[in-house]
Homo-oligomer: A and B are copies of this chain.
Amino acid sequence: MSESAESYVVGEVDVARWEQFGLGDVMPFNAMWYTVPPGVSSPRDCHPELELSVVISGTAAVETGGTITEVAKGSCFLLDSEEAHVIHNRSTDEPVMVFTTYWMPLGSTPDAVVAGEGTR
């Protein structure tokens, strides 16, 4: 099977999610590509899923907690659950393309449920 992914736009960032391939029952994570054009920064994002990303083109300037880490093509970065992040593309001519996988924390139980059991 060979397919081209359909993509959509978030701000100026092009996003193509793996959900469209209907593989949720065989994969223990979700996946997507996104592309940040030259000179553009992604919208600030923060979500419960952890996120492991690999840079396919360009150099991603990954901002978390006020710090920017440059991640070159071929390198990965791992974001923790609820770790707010912005992806900057500081290049003037090369898009930053990233392939990312994301999943809910393993074996986690919502805090409220754990607290409820502990106080009864």
Q: Are B105 and A26 interface neighbours, CB within 8 A?
A: yes
Among A26, A57, A103, A106, find the residue whose CB has the most chain B CB atoms closer than 10 A. A26
How many chain copies does the complex carry?
2
Q: Are A26 and B106 interface neighbours, CB within 8 A?
A: yes
Q: Are A56 and B28 interface neighbours, CB within 8 A?
A: no
> Main secondary structure on chain A at its contact with chain B?
strand
Q: Are B78 and A99 interface neighbours, CB within 8 A?
A: no
Closest Cβ–Cβ distance, residue A1 to chain B (whole Å)? 9
Closest Cβ–Cβ distance, residue A64 to chain B (whole Å)? 11
Q: Are A26 and B2 interface neighbours, CB within 8 A?
A: no
Measured in the bound complex, the distance between the Cα atoms of B27 and A50 in whole Å is 8
Contact with B along A47-89 (1 / 0, CB 8 A): 0001010101100000000000100011010100000000000
Measured in the bound complex, the distance between the Cα atoms of B100 and A91 in whole Å is 27
Q: Does A97 contact B (CB under 8 A)?
A: yes
Measured in the bound complex, the distance between the Cα atoms of B101 and A86 in whole Å is 24
> In chain B, what residue has the closest Cβ to A71?
B2
